[in-house]
Amino acid sequence: MVEPLLGRLNHLFHASQFPFPFHARLPSPFINSEPPSHARKITNTDQDFSLILLRKTSPIALFTRILPNQILIKRMFFELTEEQLAVQQAARDFAQNVLKPGVIERDREMKFPKSEVRQMGEMGFMGMMVDPEYGGGGMDTLSYVLAMEEISKVDASSSVIMSVNNSLVCWGLQQYGSEEQKAKYLPKLATGEWIGSFCLSEPEAGSDATSQRTTAVDMGDHYLLNGTKNWITNGGTSSVHLVMAQTHPEKGHKGINCLIVETDWPGVVIGAKEDKLGIRASDTHTIMYTDVKVPKENRIGEDGFGFKFAMKTLEGGRIGIAAQALGIAGGAYELSLAYSKERAAFGKPISQHQAIAFKLADMATDIEAAKLLVYRAAWLKDQYMDYGTASAMAKLFASETAMKHTVEAVQIHGGYGYVKEYHVERLMRDAKITQIYEGTSEVQRIVISRNVLNGQLYIPIWNGKVVGMEV
Ligand code: CAA
């Protein structure tokens, strides 16, 4: 059955000027093989046939449904499902009714939104993609993105707390943790009873993340953890840390492990809270580990898997931060649109002056473009397709958009934009961090350019029939 199908795929790919013969890109041992363990949502009907392509370097799957005389590969729909719309509305209401009233004060006082985060947990926003078996919402990435976007329109401090917990801690544990680790930690994290932190950055290992100085010495039945992490989101409030540490320095990044550390264990010291430009209500700390005994069973994955764990987890995390940036830009845009219709100058609303109307047009266009990139990255992840490049592109573009247009929002508001009451100055300060954390804009360009140059870019062919990926 495979050969005729390959012929047909080749025909279509050639017809669409695709530069590589299809058979050359199909590792035959994988044809009709079982999907990778994380690819669970395959459906086969009598008419359908699943082709699984595994990429050279990593088990990335492309599921292709083939019907007689037609190649049907995930069609492009722009509508959200009823469930996704409901999540979006719930997040919008929560942001407006619960988060907005105290957001200026929390920002000014650097006050962690404790009761608000508890409510987010009760509403299911802290473990949205976690399997219901472990107390999570079992939702797709797009639903998570929609919630992040709505919450970020109002309160980016709350959304980063949510983002780190959902996409770095819960997702990483669910995807790569052992059954015991998941059973022990996920139910508390997914419900917001506990909050988690992701501890990769160090004083001398920020963008250069392979240069980990924190050590995890193998002592037989446990690791002895020593070192310092900084810029740790949720650092003063989290109960669990996922800590990257070097076990085999001679192996470079291949010697790094990720350890699950409970913050009340002896030797964990929480340093001072950072006084930040933006996302001021979120809780960012330096953490010191001195001779912390971490049981062996708290290592995630095989010995030396820690750096890959961090990179794979950050690929998804970047979608969350891209959604945050999208929300910040969207919030600034909505406020600017409303203000420009109310505020009059020279005898008419300022929205009727081209100088302002064109700013609004540019904002709306960039936000729409960012939205497409962010939603597509989430969609690719939900289809179990390669999303590393897509998430980097989404984060890069959405965060640049957020920075550019929050500055414009302040400009549209004039003097009012410069005071706290009108919210846009806070959104402008909050936007800046989206260009920095979970990989700076420069790191995203490293990721994108390497994948482009390696030919590992997800390649959509816009003839309405085929969406392919080089393997
Ligand atoms: N998936 C799987 N493996 C990956 C990977 C990915 N996405 N990216 C890299 N790797 C692997 C590589 O294949 C390589 O392994 P092999 O040698 O076995 O092939 C290994 O990791 C090292 O990769 P590189 O050689 O590409 O490493 P590099 O030193 O050139 O750096 C980098 C790559 C992309 C710059 C990376 O260091 C990076 O992402 N830096 C930014 C770190 C970051 O995002 N920090 C954010 C901190 S967390 C945070 O901000 C959370 C918060 O609180 C809000």
pLDDT by residue (tens digit) across 194-211?
999 999 999 999 999 999
CA distance 119 to 149: 18
Tell me what the mean pLDDT of segment 6-19 comes to: 43
CA distance 246 to 22: 41
Confidence of residue 415 (pLDDT cuts 50, 70, 90): very high
pLDDT given for residue 39 in this prediction: 36
| Strands 196-199 and 70-72, bridge-based pairing | unpaired
pLDDT by residue (tens digit) across 310-319?
999 999 999 9
pLDDT by residue (tens digit) across 90-127?
999 999 999 999 999 999 999 999 999 999 999 999 99
Confidence of residue 29 (pLDDT cuts 50, 70, 90): very low
Q: Sign of dihedral through CA atoms 435, 439, 440, 443?
A: negative
Q: Using an 8 Å Cβ cutoff, are 365 and 333 in contact?
A: no
| Strands 344-345 and 268-273, bridge-based pairing | unpaired
pLDDT by residue (tens digit) across 288-309?
999 999 999 999 999 999 999 9
Confidence of residue 3 (pLDDT cuts 50, 70, 90): very low
Residues pairing with 295 in the sheet: 222
Tell me which architecture the domain covering 197-307 has in CATH. Beta Barrel (2.40)
Atom of ligand 1 nearest to the CA of 437: 50
Which parts of 271-353 fold into alpha helices (H)?
Answer: 306-342
The yes-or-no answer to whether 197-307 and 317-466 have a common fold is: no
Atom of ligand 1 nearest to the CA of 232: 53
Clarify whether 438 is annotated catalytic. yes
Asked whether residue 17 carries a pLDDT value surpassing 70, the answer given is no
CA distance 151 to 315: 21
Residue in 302, 299, 272 with CA at minimum distance from that of residue 285: 272
Buried/exposed code over 178-204 (b: 16+ C-beta within 10 A; e: otherwise) = eeebbebbbbbbbbbebbbbbbbbbee
Q: Which of 170, 210, 307 to mutate to test the pocket of ligand 1 (most atoms within 8 A of CB)?
A: 210
Buried/exposed code over 292-302 (b: 16+ C-beta within 10 A; e: otherwise) = bebeeebbbee
Confidence of residue 462 (pLDDT cuts 50, 70, 90): very low
Place of tokens 């430009």: 277
- Listed in sequence order, the residues at least 6 apart from 69 whose beta carbon sits closer than 8 Å to its beta carbon are none
Domain spans of the chain?
197-307, 317-466
Residue in 138, 33, 132 with CA at minimum distance from that of residue 382: 138
Tell me what the mean pLDDT of segment 180-187 comes to: 98
CA distance 310 to 467: 29
Mean pLDDT of the chain: 85
pLDDT given for residue 383 in this prediction: 80
Tell me what the mean pLDDT of segment 178-197 comes to: 98
Q: Using an 8 Å Cβ cutoff, are 430 and 328 in contact?
A: yes
Tell me which architecture the domain covering 317-466 has in CATH. Up-down Bundle (1.20)
Identify the weakest region by mean pLDDT among 12-26, 66-80, 421-435, 438-452. 12-26
Of all residues in the chain, the percent with pLDDT exceeding 90 is 77
Any ligand 1 atom below 6 A from CB of 438: yes
Q: What angle do CA 406, 447, 206 make, to 5 degrees?
A: 75
pLDDT by residue (tens digit) across 158-177?
999 999 999 999 999 999 99
Confidence of residue 457 (pLDDT cuts 50, 70, 90): low
Any ligand 1 atom below 6 A from CB of 356: no
Residue 306 φ/ψ region, left for φ over 0, alpha for ψ in the -120 to 50 degree band, beta for the rest: alpha
pLDDT given for residue 458 in this prediction: 53
Which parts of 96-170 fold into alpha helices (H)?
Answer: 103-109, 114-123, 141-154, 156-163
The predicted model scores a pTM of: 0.85
pLDDT given for residue 1 in this prediction: 40
Judged by DSSP in three states, 217 sits in strand
Q: Using an 8 Å Cβ cutoff, are 243 and 268 in contact?
A: no
CA-nearest residue, atom 9 of ligand 1: 311
Any ligand 1 atom below 6 A from CB of 248: no
**Ligand 1 mean position to 191 CA, how many Å?**
29
pLDDT given for residue 75 in this prediction: 57
- Listed in sequence order, the residues at least 6 apart from 64 whose beta carbon sits closer than 8 Å to its beta carbon are 50, 51, 53, 71, 73
Atom of ligand 1 nearest to the CA of 160: 54
Any ligand 1 atom below 6 A from CB of 320: no
